[in-house]
Structure 1
Amino acid sequence: MLKKLLIANRGEIAVRVIRTARALGYRTVAVYSEADSNALHVEYADEAVCIGPAQVSASYLNADAILDAARKTGADCIHPGYGFLSENAGFAKAIKEAGLAFVGPPENAIELMGSKRRSKIAMQEAGVPVVPGFEGDNANDNELIAAAQDIGYPLMLKASAGGGGRGMRLVESESELADNITRARSEAKQAFGDDELIIEKAVIEPRHVEIQVFADRRGHAVYLGERDCSVQRRHQKVVEEAPSPFVTPELRQAMGQAAVKAALACGYEGAGTVEFLVDKDRNFYFLEMNTRLQVEHPVTELITGQDLVAWQLMVAEGRPLPLAQDDIQLNGHAIEVRLYAEDPASGFTPQTGTLHQFIPAAGEGLRFDTGVRSGDVVSPHYDPMLAKVIAWGPTRDDARRRLIRALEDTTVFGVTTNRHFLSRIIADQTFGAGEATTAFLQQAFKDDSSLSPQSLTLRELALSACALSLGTAGQNGWSNAPASVMPMKLEAQDETFELLVRHTHDALLVALNQDDYEIQLESHSPGTLCIIDNGVRQRCQYYRHGDFLYLQALGRSWAVRDVTHQPASSKAGAGSGRIQAGMDGAVIDVLVAEGDTVEQGQPLLILEAMKMEHPVKADRGGKMERLLIEPGHQVKRGQLLAEITTTEEATS
């Protein structure tokens, strides 16, 4: 009998694993970096051990420190979560050699499925359909180029190790191949320490459908339905749902049986996910197997009524699977989205800072898996996911409607998130019709308003002015003093708005240029305005932090800075030639040298932040006057990286 579980992870997955372990009577141990000393998973566990500084290489990827934490606390089993060391065969082996139970598959299965090249060969031998391609052992660039000529275009370059879209490139023509090989190798080496690549024929606009499998140590394996993960950005999943609106009962059975065959072929144990690409004719092809619990496992739990972490612990104890295949039933529909601290309107730039308020919505059929709470700091060191928001309903439309409301009603103040972007996807007609493929975001959704900066409306400015003026409000409205006009200057999204605000005992009138907007203040309490707008009573949430004001109403959120009493400032704007970091991150490549002539929009360097590569581009043409960074440098958001001068400036 296992008694004490150490969770070798952080954030929401650590909290989620601890929740089930506690319910089953396990004592729990958290590990944490110095940056996570006040994290929710640390507080939630029975015991916690600091394993190193913020850098993942010195903490969450430090296998020796994690094993030492297990020894210190007397833990007898270790759950790896996902990411970090969860698919590291050496870590699984070291755990077993230390006499502990690894809550995961055998190291040989991890090693085999961790190689896209070797796993694809194994699946071919097991009779599982695979995408045609080339899987040469450590193939060099010339071998890849030669193989591409035989396969034909378009094709996919893929890192043999790892996943998550890193080291993956769609190549449309031969002229693009060499450069993409270089970039894919660089990403793969940076992310996985292995730059081996394979090539596959590109399946155009497929569905990404995965099967949840489970196997015990007695040679039994089952599948628990499928998840549709087709809505993706840069090969990163954005929306996951179960069951897939595209999969028929016959296809589900065929894919499920193929997934079980894949698991048995590699001597699998525990939770695993076999991922497939499915074309428009419902032909399916093996993509990869993830030898761990998936981020999106909650949707499977909600439609099957099973706790997959509890299943993992059963298997780790050597117990049989709790259900046979015929006993597994699917009920209703579940959809999950990943709520990130990122700005979709600015190229999905990762966001950092203090999470002043985080209040998940409550309601029937809703589930929030999160590792943060109000007051936490979103740091540049780790993935910027704040929560997984999951909704269940008897039908797909019930789940969609609940999820949209959950996103609209969740309060997040302090950092920009992708909340509005997510709700727009779920409400989209193409997604609603069940027709979204992996090309959905790049094609049907590419012009959505959530993907570009939107100027504040006069109504939103009026609500902002209303909240900022509350210092002069009485208990249920404005003061009874004679009406007066007050100037107010607000900044938002690099725009400045000069307003004239007039309020009486029951109303506020905001004027901007030749337009005005009137709002009646019905009542207010800390953090909430109750207003009457055009005869309709509504609520608006707000939070003030210094000069900054955060607001949300009816699914929209925005922030303004009150600069009414600030002195005029001069700051570099677009086209200034002062190239600044848009996020905290690490410089992994510099593409130009001092003295080079550059064009507007030309990539100057590559920043890595939140596990993704982000090109930093020239905001104008001219001469590269100064480069203030080099590969390996850590930079902060707003830090000056380079300066570009024009010919006129250079001679003045």
Structure 2
Amino acid sequence: MFKKILIANRGEIACRVAATAHRLGIKTVAVYSDADANAKHVAACDESVHLGPAPAKESYLRGDRIIEAALATGAQAIHPGYGFLSENEDFADACAKAGLVFIGPPASAIRAMGSKSAAKSLMEKAKVPLVPGYHGDDQDPDFLQEQADRIGYPVLLKASAGGGGKGMRIVDKSADFKAALASCKREAISSFGDDKVLVEKYLTRPRHIEIQVFADTQGNCVYLFERDCSVQRRHQKVLEEAPAPGMTQERRRAMGEAAVAAAKAVGYVGAGTVEFIANQDGSFYFMEMNTRLQVEHPVTEMITGLDLVEWQLRVAAGEPLPLRQEELAIHGHAIEARVYAENPEKGFLPSIGTLKHLRTPQAAAFETGHAEQDEAAAVRIDSGVREGDAISPFYDPMIAKLIVWGKDREQALARMAQALSEYQIVGLATNIAFLKRVVESPAFAQANLDTGLIERHQDALFPRVQPAALPVLALAAASLLASEGRAAANDPWGSTNGWRMNGVLKRTLEFADDAGSYPVVVSYHQDGWTVQQGTAAATMILVSQKGNDLVVKLDGQTVRGTVVRDGETFHVFHEGGHAALSYNDPLAHAGEAEAEGGRLTAPMPGKIVAMLVDKGSKVDKGAPLLIMEAMKMEHTIAAPANGTVEDFLYAVGDQVAEGAQLLVFQAA
């Protein structure tokens, strides 16, 4: 076994690899960029080496610097994690030439599966089922459109060198093909340096089911069952679970054997995932093979009791697979939710900022063995950030992976809903509330799964914002009143106990959120307050306050919650919900808001990649005006109303800051 390894990655996967290495007594070396100098993964390793500036292409994608760091620190092997250089055959070759073990498959296997079109040709020879499509080299737009017309719409355009949902477009009709192709190629060249695409028949209501495979250097290969990753947005996974609901033993065996055949066809070694698209009738087709450990590998670990990173290390060190196929078994059910810094209500726009408040559900560190042996291990959190850390625009905005185990799917669902209710984050937008709505939705609960689940249930998953209830407003008010009381404790002239010689003090606290404004009238009494909002009113007593946690009584009923103040916003966590209430402080300076007029601004830092109209163009409301690329995604800036584009303030290729005015627009 290795004595020291370098982890060529960051965030939660670097922390995950370091944890297993530490358990096995293997020393670890972290690498980091300027943005990650104080990151959690650096603290998790025994040594660390600086790579360069924040942009990945100047740090985590610099294979030469990573190899230099490994040699300088005496590391014997490099674990690439996932993303970055994990599926880069040139980097794998370079490691071998430098005398370092690449903890992953041979470069030849990465090369064979790296091109989706070439991989499909190999799979066809190996008799692995394929989706009808065109996977050839002819990239002429007219020819590709002819192929799409022949296959029949809808079709899926997919970057041949792609992954992670990047460079993918669904085209519903021939008239939309050319525009979708151009957008797909732009994203592909930006993300992968290769704009080659393939065209496939897009299946309606398909499920995304993948098989975890593992192979050693002695010719052994097994499958560690399946994961259902059907719940997706923007072709990226949101929830993953294992085993796949409704999977029969016969179908599991057929898919597992097809995955093993795919791995053997390329001489695979190590951990890999063979992804299939499956029809509701049980038929399935090969999509691609990811030649690395997957983001969702924890659900496989939870149902098998195995440490897949340990398997990776043992196989890379030349050891045989620890278990044979007949020794593998499924225990219970596991679900993983990806907690992201993003705003689902705004098209899942990534969010950046500092984790000013972070409280997670009670979880146990992952250990090999089955979760049913220790109920405390039924909740697991894999994360690369801590409270006070920042989510930057340079990398993927994932905050953590929340994984739960249950003796069956019903118990796992209940645990996931409870864990999401206990997850608290302040400082940036997150998808936690959205995840909870998905988990509790009838479609997901009944395992009525397919890749269009989110789009099909838009109304239920994106409900209209409801007005804040009196208990939520009372908690915010109690927090504010308590802080005023503490501030005035040593200042009798600033006392806020409300005592008056001839009457009761009344004041109005102005709160607001996206659903409206809430003037809360507070009347002071000797032993508490009366709070009234609209027609709802109640006596309120502050029972206790410990940090941000409050207990109040409203008309004798106990109300518990957590209130975190961030500037003039009160974040109230109550009964699994999160309300962000802005507070209008009458004593604070209230400057007039700048009228935006014809301004259209960048939603986050990024790069202008395309102008879709000309200066002076008259456009209708909703018309796409320009395209930005930010945090690995394309974002279209659309016209807010009918009007005229008077001027563009940036050119294609320009970098822009968050909030920068992009163009001048005059509404009609």
Same fold (TM over 0.5): yes
Cα RMSD of the aligned pairs, angstroms, is 2.0
Q: In structure 1, what is the equivalent of residue 482 of structure 2?
A: 470
Q: For 1:75-474, list aligned pairs within 5 A.
A: 75-362=75-362, 364=376, 365-443=378-456, 445-448=457-460, 450=462, 453-473=465-485
Q: 3-state DSSP class of the match of 1:198?
A: strand
Deviation at 1:506? 4.4
Matched, 1:581 2:602: yes
Q: Following the alignment from structure 2 to structure 1, what is the Cα–Cα distance between the partners of residues 554 and 97?
A: 67
Deviates more, 1:284-293 or 1:426-435: 426-435
What secondary structure sits across from 1:441 in the alignment?
helix
Q: State the alpha-carbon separation in 1 of the partners of residues 476 and 169 from structure 2.
A: 44
State the alpha-carbon separation in 1 of the partners of residues 591 and 532 from structure 2: 24
Amino acid at match of 1:34: D
1:505 Cα deviation after fit: 4.3
Q: Distance in 1 between matches of 2:624 and 2:342?
A: 21
CA-to-aligned-CA distance 1:135-168 (integer Å, 9 cap, x gap):
1114321221221222112211111111122221
User: Contact conserved, 2:272 with 2:291, CA < 8 A, in 1?
Assistant: yes
Distance change (3 Å), C-alpha of 1:131 and 1:164: same
The worse-fitting range, judged by mean Cα deviation, of 478-487 and 395-404 is 478-487
Distance 2:270 2:247 in 1: 25
Q: Residue deviations 1:345-379, cap 9 Å, x none?
A: 22212111110121211153100000011101111
Partners of 1:636 and 1:502 in 2: CA distance: 46
Instruction: Decide whether the 8 Å contact of 1:332 with 1:393 is kept in 2.
Output: yes
- For residues 184 and 607 of structure 1, the distance between their equivalents in structure 2, rounded to whole angstroms, comes to 14
Deviations 1:526-571 (A, max 9, x none): 1111123465423211222333332211111122333312344333
Partners of 2:556 and 2:236 lie apart in 1 by 44
> After the TM superposition, which of the residue ranges 597-606 and 510-519 deviates more from structure 2?
510-519
Which moves more between the two structures, 308-317 or 593-602? 593-602
Please say which of residues 340-349 and 13-22 is displaced more in the overlay. 340-349
User: Once the two structures are superposed, what CA deviation does each residue of 1:601-642 show, in whole Å capped at 9, x if it has no partner?
Assistant: 222211222211111112222222232222222223222222
1:517 Cα deviation from its structure 2 partner: 5.3
2:627 is paired with a residue of what secondary structure? Answer: strand
Contact 1:467–1:529 (CA<8 Å) still a contact in 2? yes
Q: What is the TM-score of this pair, normalised by structure 2? A: 0.93
Equivalent pairs counted in the alignment come to 643
Shift of 1:249: 1.0
2:499 to 481, 492, 501: 481
CA distance in 2, matches of 1:572, 1:388: 39
User: Which region of structure 1 is more displaced relative to structure 2, 283-292 or 169-178?
Assistant: 169-178
Distance 1:52 1:495, change over 3 A: farther
Structure 1 stretches of 5 or more lacking a match? 648-652
Alpha carbons of 1:462 and 1:635: their partners in 2 closer, same or farther (altered >3 Å)? farther
Does the CA contact (< 8 Å) of 1:32 and 1:50 recur in 2? yes
Q: How far, CA to CA, are the matches of 1:456 and 1:642 in structure 2?
A: 36
Tell me by how many angstroms 1:643 deviates.
2.0
Q: More displaced, 535-544 or 510-519?
A: 510-519
Partner amino acid, structure 1, of 2:442: Q
The residue correspondences of 1:437-586 to structure 2 (distance < 5 A) are 437-443=450-456, 445-448=457-460, 450=462, 453-473=465-485, 479=497, 481=499, 483-493=504-514, 496-513=517-534, 515-516=536-537, 518-533=539-554, 535-564=556-585, 565-571=587-593, 576-586=597-607
The answer to whether the Cα contact below 8 Å between 1:346 and 1:452 also exists between their aligned partners in 2 is no
Residue 61 of structure 1 aligns with which residue?
A: 61
1:276/1:288 contact within 8 Å kept:
yes
CA contact (8 A) 1:231 1:436 kept: yes
Cα distance in 1 between the residues matched to 2:601 and 2:440: 36
What is the aligned-residue identity percentage? 46
- 1:88-130 CA deviation, whole Å, 9 max, x = no partner? 1111111111100000000111011111100001001001111
In structure 2, the residue corresponding to 1:437 is in which secondary structure?
coil
Gaps spanning 5+ residues in structure 2: where?
A: 364-375, 488-495
CA–CA distance in structure 2, aligned partners of residues 284 and 103 of structure 1: 30
Secondary structure at the aligned position of 2:218 is classed as coil
What CA distance in whole angstroms lies between the structure 2 residues aligned with 1:505 and 1:129?
76
Q: Counterpart amino acid of 1:155?
A: V
Contact 2:611-2:652 within 8 A present in 1 as well: yes
Mapped to 2, the partners of 1:386 and 1:441 lie a distance apart of 21
Q: Determine if contact 1:459/1:517 at 8 Å carries over to the other structure.
A: no
Give the distance between the partners of 2:556 and 2:125, measured in 1 at CA. Answer: 69
- Name 1:640's counterpart in structure 2: 661
- Aligned pairs for 1:7-18 within 5 A: 7-18=7-18
Instruction: Give the C-alpha shift of residue 200 in structure 1.
Output: 1.0
Q: Is the 8 A contact 2:609 2:652 kept in 1?
A: yes
Partner Cα separation in structure 2 for residue 244 and residue 534 of structure 1:
48
The answer to whether the 8 A contact 2:465-2:515 is kept is no
**Partner Cα separation in structure 2 for residue 68 and residue 536 of structure 1:** 64
Report the TM-score, using the length of structure 1 for normalisation: 0.95
SS in structure 2 at match of 1:219: coil
Does the Cα contact within 8 Å between 1:345 and 1:453 map onto a contact in 2?
no
Query: Does the CA contact (< 8 Å) of 2:538 and 2:555 recur in 1?
Result: no
Cα shift at 1:332: 0.3
With over 3 angstroms needed to count, the CA separation of the structure-2 counterparts of 1:138 and 1:85, relative to structure 1, is farther
The aligned amino acid for 1:376 is D
Preserved CA contact (<8 Å) 1:578 1:643: yes
The amino acid across from 1:466 in the alignment is A
Q: Is the 8 A contact 2:438 2:461 kept in 1?
A: no
User: Quick check: 1:595 aligned with 2:616?
Assistant: yes
Distance in 1 (alpha carbons) for counterparts of 2:540 and 2:409: 38
Offset at residue 336 of structure 1 (A):
0.2
* Cα contact 2:356–2:387 (8 A) shared by 1: yes
